[in-house]
Amino acid sequence: MTESALISSFDAILSDLDGVVYAGPHAIPGAVESLRRLEPAGVGLGYVTNNASRTPAQVAEHLRELGAPAEDHQVVSSSQAAGELLASLLPPGARVLITGSAALAQEIELAGLTPVHSAADQPVAVVQGFNPEIAWKDLAEASYVVAAGALWVATNTDMSIPQARGIAPGNGTLVAAVAAATGKLPQVAGKPEAPLFHVAAKRLQAERPLVVGDRLDTDILGGNRAGFATAAVLTGVDTPFSILAARTAERPGYLLADLRALFEPYPAIVQNDGGFRCGLATARVLDGTVQISGTEDSLDSWRAACSAWWDATPEAAAPTTPQLEWLGH
């Protein structure tokens, strides 16, 4: 690692999993090797995941099977956050309907609450987390309890999840089904809320962590809300164009191809002559169009374009999609 490598500015990486480290059962190229370089470089590592279908220990075991460094305590999950949130709102031993996995039920039990699986058990709350085995009847049970006025907590509301075969529906789609049936909305325990990131940083005693993720609406938004530096990688859900169009709260500080870029110098982005330069690429905004001198397959082109467009639209409450004009070099 050279002194000017991006990672040299941080004391820890808080990494998402799906779409950053792996997609489905397989590691993303370069990810494992990059994660193994962190400890020798004196950089801490924590995994922050919204996937509530497995326990932190199971997640850590999967990571080790892939060859990645992972101790159980390095994994901070949205199911843990949900357990902590519910325990703060309910009396000890309160019954909570589990709409999710056995791993989620375990975290609820560890939080001092009583997991149940039917509306007939008279739960006072519902916790909903991702489980690929979930069925209509599970969503129906949750709807009955939520409609009756019970507290409703979702581990996360990710609308999609990267899989080896492509992008599949995430927990947010299942939460949306219950919301449509009941007309109610849940409290959200995991990303993009800041506490999950603060817990991870505290475990690592990190003062300058970098949050790395593939999703603007969870990883980057959550990292920004936590007050940490953020980097978007292009190995999962979001693309250079969706990142360019991002609303202000979801804009990352860095744009990376994958985790290997952590160990490379990050190019300076310089403002000059009404535009922005990154490497050999330049970009400027003219009448709502981003003019880019560079090639579409160059990440520096997109970095320059993001800087130019975000400078022109500093307060975007919603995604703003500019026209692009590629001028070549």
| Complete edge-to-edge strand list for the sheet that includes strand 151-154 | 114-116, 95-99, 125-128, 151-154, 187-188
Kindly name the residue from 11, 18, 138, 273 that is annotated as catalytic: 18
Distances (CA, A) of 191 to 101, 277, 310: 18, 33, 24
Separation CA 309–CA 327 (nearest Å): 16
Q: Which tokens in the block code for residue 165?
A: 């075969």
Please count the other Cβ atoms lying within 10 Å of the Cβ belonging to residue 287.
6
C-alpha 1: how far from chain center: 26
Partnered with residue 326 across adjacent β-strands are: 292
Helix extents (H) in the chain: 31-36, 56-66, 78-89, 102-110, 136-147, 171-182, 195-204, 221-225, 240-244, 299-312
Separation CA 66–CA 28 (nearest Å): 10
Q: Which residues contact 184 (CB under 8 A, 6 or more apart)?
A: 146, 147, 152
Separation CA 216–CA 232 (nearest Å): 7
Kindly name the residue from 11, 16, 138, 287 that is annotated as catalytic: 16
Q: Which tokens in the block code for residue 255?
A: 């744009």
273 assigned to active site: no
Please count the other Cβ atoms lying within 10 Å of the Cβ belonging to residue 90.
19
138 assigned to active site: no
Look at the block and give the residue holding tokens 């220990």: 57
Q: Which tokens in the block code for residue 235?
A: 């190995």
Distances (CA, A) of 321 to 163, 250, 269, 303, 310: 27, 14, 21, 16, 11
Question: Mind telling me the catalytic residues?
Answer: 16, 18
